[in-house]
Amino acid sequence: MINLPATRPRQFLRNGLPVAVLLICVPLLWQRLSIMDMGAIRAAVGAVGWDQWLLAVLATCLSFQAIGRYDAVWHRLMGTGVSPAIARRAGMQAIAVAQLLGFGAVTGSLVRWRCLPMFSLWQATRLSIAVTLAFTLCWALFALCAFWWSGLYPAFSALHLGLLLLAAAVLITIVRRRLTHNLTAADIGQLMVWTAVDLCCAAAALSVMLPDAIDVSFSHILAAYVLALGAGLVSNTPGGAGAFDLALLTLLPMDTPEPLVAAIIAFRLVYYLLPASLALVSLARPARQAGASRNTPAHWALARQSGEVRTIADQAWYLSDLPFVMTAVGPAHRATAKAPNLTALRRHAAIRTRFPALYNCDPRLAMAARNAGWHVRRTAMEALIRPATWSTAGNRRQTLRRKLRHAAAAGVEVTRPGAMQPIQQMHHVARQWALSHGGELGLSMGRFCPDLLKQQEVFLITINGQLIGFVSFHASPAGWVLDLIRHVDVIPDGAIQTAIIFAIEAARQSEIPILSLACTPDPRYTPDRWANRKAGLIQFKRSFGPIWVPRYHAAPSRFSFWMTGIVIGIGIHRPWTNLPWKLARRIKIIMQKYQVALVRY
């Protein structure tokens, strides 16, 4: 006999409930429709006037604008750094597709992940869960009023209201602990207002589809819609099929139900099919980097690999969590003229039970940290080039010109593939490089990622059409930042320099103000053995005659400075991705058991 594994009740409810609802509601709905006059239903749909369609479309637009505000509120609460306009657009597209296809949390997560390229799937899932839980709470409060107004629950008492408020308090506690600590009563009130606008506008879109002969007050239509929407949400079926329609037919009984069925069909066309079609067309377009502005640092694209962009006290940071340490990589986004709020950053790290640290921060941020009493030290130098004025002329670039001649004699060619990147060949080159160099680095150092490369500026190095290497740059209107240099074991002298110069020329043509060759360790504060290992890298960047700008590491105290420096060093040179994932998971669990006590100490 074969023993089948027992199905968990939660899995059964999640996977079996939509099927059970379809099996129950669809036959009941079909039984009611079978006794109706289909010709009268088609005639009623055709009789809907253009003014009714126009008003329904307008009400649908207002409803989806309110829906988008939900995402904007949660982006602000969760500190993602995404602008409100982009957050609203992503939220509207996610809801439009999810309400048509069903399985709202899963579908919404995937759509938001597609709309927000800097998000990981887990970040998109957390956002979808937050939106779903908050909307469910707000809907439950309005559904209570709808029950009373519809006369379905006349025995309502203060006890029932107390139980509902207790459930709401438990849900808010879960949201605050699991998703965000910034949720306030004002935020809940704002979410309630947008929920009310959404429900009223959606009910209005349904109401205008009804013929004038049907004399039903808007308040009853609103109450019926709220309860029918709940039935559709609980069923989790595509478009609430079956449950939503059956609930409306039950809550709005009429002598001749054909006009109501026609109004429901017209409502589905306007409120479900039209927004989903527009969203799918938009999703079919190439992905763009969300939230990018002219001042957004280009290296923030690394947040997809080793961190997240989070807004803290109206300032955006690129944060990376390491064991015991929350690292802010690079400067804060200067969306305002305010000085960096290090107090808020430190408080946010305390919430995460981690030490705060600034890594590769600019002189402005380092000065603010020093004034705040933090321990600051210069640890790196960044090589910057201004493409508009840079050239290969001059004594400082004599070595560079010699290497370019060697590469030209070897037949080295550089191309810019754009969207037509040979990913398989590039992966082979990157793998060969990683095997020769002991693996890829982590944290602020990029790793080979096809999805990220599609959003970067990539330059291929070939000889006789054979790919032997490539370089990639994080790209934004503010500047380009060197990310990957990957090549085969044997490569002609000067090949990489040729690719970099090709990139500088491309940046000049694109009117990019700054091109960064990334950082090198500061020789003054680097151990001799480590400096010797990096001597070739320093000499390589020095051959371009760049502008050298200092970069700093800062922490609130001397002890946390050295402790965070060690952890950051391990995070760069021994990233978790280089370990077997089971071992990395076990080590992280062990570390998490002791980090709270250590931080408090």
Cβ partners under 8 Å of residue 32, min gap 6: 246, 249, 257
Q: Is the pLDDT of residue 459 over 90?
A: yes
Q: Strands of 124-214 (E only): list them.
A: none
User: Given this model, what pLDDT does residue 34 score?
Assistant: 57
Rounded mean pLDDT, 197-208: 89
Q: Strands of 477-583 (E only): list them.
A: 479-487, 515-521, 547-555
Q: Report d(CA 410, CA 407) in Å as an integer.
A: 5
Say what angle helices 121-150 and 218-235 make with each other, to 10 degrees.
140
- How are beta strands 515-521 and 547-555 bridged, if at all? unpaired
End position of a domain, from candidates 255, 279, 303: 279
Whether the Cβ atoms of residue 488 and residue 443 lie closer than 8 Å to each other: no
Whether the Cβ atoms of residue 139 and residue 195 lie closer than 8 Å to each other: yes
Quote the number of domains for the chain.
Answer: 2
Of 81-95, 324-338, 360-374, 474-488, the range with the lowest mean pLDDT is 324-338
User: Given this model, what pLDDT does residue 580 score?
Assistant: 42
Task: Establish if 437 belongs to a structural domain.
Answer: yes
CATH of the domain at 459: 3.40.630.30
Phi, psi for 458 (deg, rounded to 5): -115, 140
| DSSP bridge pairs for 552 | 361, 378
User: Given this model, what pLDDT does residue 515 score?
Assistant: 92
Q: Is the pLDDT of residue 304 over 80?
A: no
> Is 389 found in the same domain as 510?
yes
Say what angle helices 185-207 and 121-150 make with each other, to 10 degrees.
70
Task: Establish if 583 belongs to a structural domain.
Answer: no
Q: Report d(CA 33, CA 51) in Å as an integer.
A: 28
Say what angle helices 84-101 and 50-78 make with each other, to 10 degrees.
120
pLDDT-derived band at 303 (thresholds 50, 70, 90) equals low
The DSSP code for 333 is B
Rounded mean pLDDT, 19-28: 54
> Is 275 found in the same domain as 411?
no
Higher pLDDT, 137 or 402: 402
Q: Report d(CA 175, CA 337) in Å as an integer.
A: 33
Task: Establish if 290 belongs to a structural domain.
Answer: no
Q: Is the pLDDT of residue 423 over 70?
A: yes
pLDDT-derived band at 280 (thresholds 50, 70, 90) equals confident
Task: Establish if 559 belongs to a structural domain.
Answer: no
**pLDDT tens-digit profile of 326-370?**
888 877 765 444 677 888 888 888 877 788 999 888 888 899 899
User: Given this model, what pLDDT does residue 164 score?
Assistant: 64
User: Given this model, what pLDDT does residue 600 score?
Assistant: 39
Higher pLDDT, 386 or 600: 386
**pLDDT tens-digit profile of 53-72?**
899 899 999 999 988 888 88
Task: Establish if 394 belongs to a structural domain.
Answer: yes
> Is 263 found in the same domain as 393?
no
Q: Report d(CA 170, CA 567) in Å as an integer.
A: 37
Q: Is the pLDDT of residue 212 over 80?
A: no
Determine the Cα angle at 208 with ends 42 and 264, to 5°.
Answer: 45
Task: Establish if 332 belongs to a structural domain.
Answer: no
Grouping H, G, I as helix, E, B as strand and the rest as coil, residue 309 is: strand
Of 243, 242, 244, 262, the residue nearest 254 (C-alpha): 262
Residue with tokens 């502008």: 547
> Is 543 found in the same domain as 395?
yes
User: Given this model, what pLDDT does residue 338 score?
Assistant: 62
- Residue 433: which domain range? 384-549
Written as six digits, the tokens of 151 are 């006369």
**pLDDT tens-digit profile of 537-590?**
788 888 888 888 889 999 999 999 999 888 888 877 766 544 443 444 455 555
User: Given this model, what pLDDT does residue 353 score?
Assistant: 79
Count of CB atoms situated within 10 Å of the CB of 2: 3
Q: Report d(CA 325, CA 589) in Å as an integer.
A: 15
Type and span of the H or E element at 315:
strand 315-322
> Is 395 found in the same domain as 250?
no
Sequence length of the chain is 601
Of 445, 593, 574, 572, the residue nearest 519 (C-alpha): 445
End position of a domain, from candidates 279, 306, 340: 279
Task: Establish if 301 belongs to a structural domain.
Answer: no
Q: Is the pLDDT of residue 1 over 50?
A: no
End position of a domain, from candidates 249, 279, 309: 279
Question: Full-prediction pTM beyond 0.75?
Answer: no
Q: Report d(CA 60, CA 206) in Å as an integer.
A: 10
Determine the Cα angle at 83 with ends 116 and 119, to 5°.
Answer: 25
pLDDT-derived band at 467 (thresholds 50, 70, 90) equals very high
Task: Establish if 221 belongs to a structural domain.
Answer: yes
